[in-house]
Structure 1
Amino acid sequence: MQISFEEFVTARGPALLRFAYLLCGDRYLAEDVLQEVLARAYRRWSRIGGAPEPYLRKAVLNQYLSWWRRKSSSEALVATVPDRVQAYRTADELAARDEIWTLLATLPRPQRAVLVLRYYLDLSDSEIAELLGYAVPTVRVYAFRALGRLRAALSGRAPTTEARSG
C-alpha cells in the first residue's frame, strides 16, 4: 500500500527541507526549491511508487542544480540575520558555523552538492555519482577540490591550482 502524498509530506517534509537548505544555504530558497519539487510530485504521485523519498531527494538535488542555471528567478539574495540565537550556542560556535556557511556558499554548486550528499546523507561515492549522473572519479575529484578549498580558506591560504577549478 502506497502512502498518501499528504502523509508523506507531513512525515518526511522537514527532512527534505533540511536537505534543500543544506544545498541552497538559504531558508527561503530551500523552501522554493522544495515547493517546486512537491508541486511536480503531487501531479504524478501515483506513478512515483512505493519508495518516494529517494526519488524526491534526487528531484530536490536536480531542482537545486538547475535553479541556478535558469535566469528566471528575479530574487536577490541578501545576508539574513537570524530571528533569535539559540541560548546554548557560544559566540565562537556561532562564528565558526557562520564561517563554514560562508565558505560553503563560495563552492561551485556541484562541489557543494557532493559534500552535502557525502556528509549530510552519508552516501557513498558511487551513490552520489548515480544521483548526479557523474562518474565515480568525478565525484571524488569534486570532493577533493571542495575540501581543499575549504581547508585553504580556513587556514588563510589561497587555494591551490587543483582546488580552484571545477
Structure 2
Amino acid sequence: MIRRDDGSFDEFMRTSSPRLLKLAWLLTGGASTAEDLVQETLERVYVAWPRIEPGGIHNYARRILLNLHTDSHRRRWRETTTAEIPDHGRPDRSENVALADQLTAALAQLPVRERQCVVLRHHVDLSERDVADALNISTGTVKSSTSRGLARLRSVLATEGDRHV
C-alpha cells in the first residue's frame, strides 16, 4: 500500500480545488451546490488517498466529481436557481459576469449527460475518448450528446439574445 502524508494532500487540494470548483459550477449552475460537490469530492479523495496512483490523482478526483454529480440527479428532483438573492443588494455586474451567468443558465437547461459532455469537451478540453472513459459511455454517445448539447445551447443563447435586444 502506498502511503503519502497529509502535506501532499494539502498541496493537491490547494492546486486542484479551483479547477474542480469551476468544473462543478459549470455542471451544477450554482455556487453553493458546486462548493458542496467539490467538498464531497475532496473528502472521498482524502479517504482513498493512500490507494491512488500519484499520476492519476487529478483524473480520479474529476471522475469522483462527475459520479457525484450524476448520482445527485438520480436521487432528487432538480432544484430551481434564481438570479436574485433575497434580502441582499445586487452588486454591479460586468459584461463578462453577465455572459457567464447567461451561459450557466443555458447549460442548466441541458439534460445532465449533454451538459457533462459539453463541459468536459469544451471547458476541460478532454478528448472524446477521455470523456467516454470519465463518464463510462461510448465515444459515439459522447459525440452525439456533445452535438445535441451544443445545438441546444446555440438555440437557447440565440433566444436569450433576441429577448434582450
TM-score range, shorter chain: 0.7 to 0.9
Q: Distance in 1 between matches of 2:98 and 2:91?
A: 15
- What residue ranges of structure 1 are gaps of 5+ in the alignment? 157-166
Q: Equivalent residue for 2:137? A: 134
Q: Distance in 2 between matches of 1:94 and 1:4?
A: 34
Q: Equivalent residue for 2:91? A: 84
1:72-130 deviation per Cα after TM superposition (whole angstroms, max 9, x unaligned): x8x954314486345xx33xx55443332221111001100001101111111111111
Q: Equivalent residue for 2:40? A: 36
Q: Distance in 1 between matches of 2:79 and 2:72?
A: 14
Q: Tell me which of 144, 148, 166 is aligned to 2:147.
A: 144
Q: Distance in 1 between matches of 2:120 and 2:45?
A: 21
The one-letter code of the counterpart of 1:54 is N
Instruction: Detail structure 1 runs of 4+ shifted over 6 Å in the superposition.
Output: none
Matched, 1:13 2:37: no
Give the number of the structure with larger relative contact order, counting CA–CA contacts within 8 Å between residues 6 or more apart.
2
Q: Which structure: greater helix fraction?
A: 2
TM-score in terms of structure 1 length: 0.79
Change (3 A) 1:20 1:96: closer
Q: Equivalent residue for 1:162? A: none
The one-letter code of the counterpart of 1:27 is A
Contact 2:27 2:108 in 1 (8 A): no
C-alpha RMSD of matched pairs (Å): 2.5
Q: Equivalent residue for 1:57? A: 62
Q: How many residues were matched structurally?
A: 151
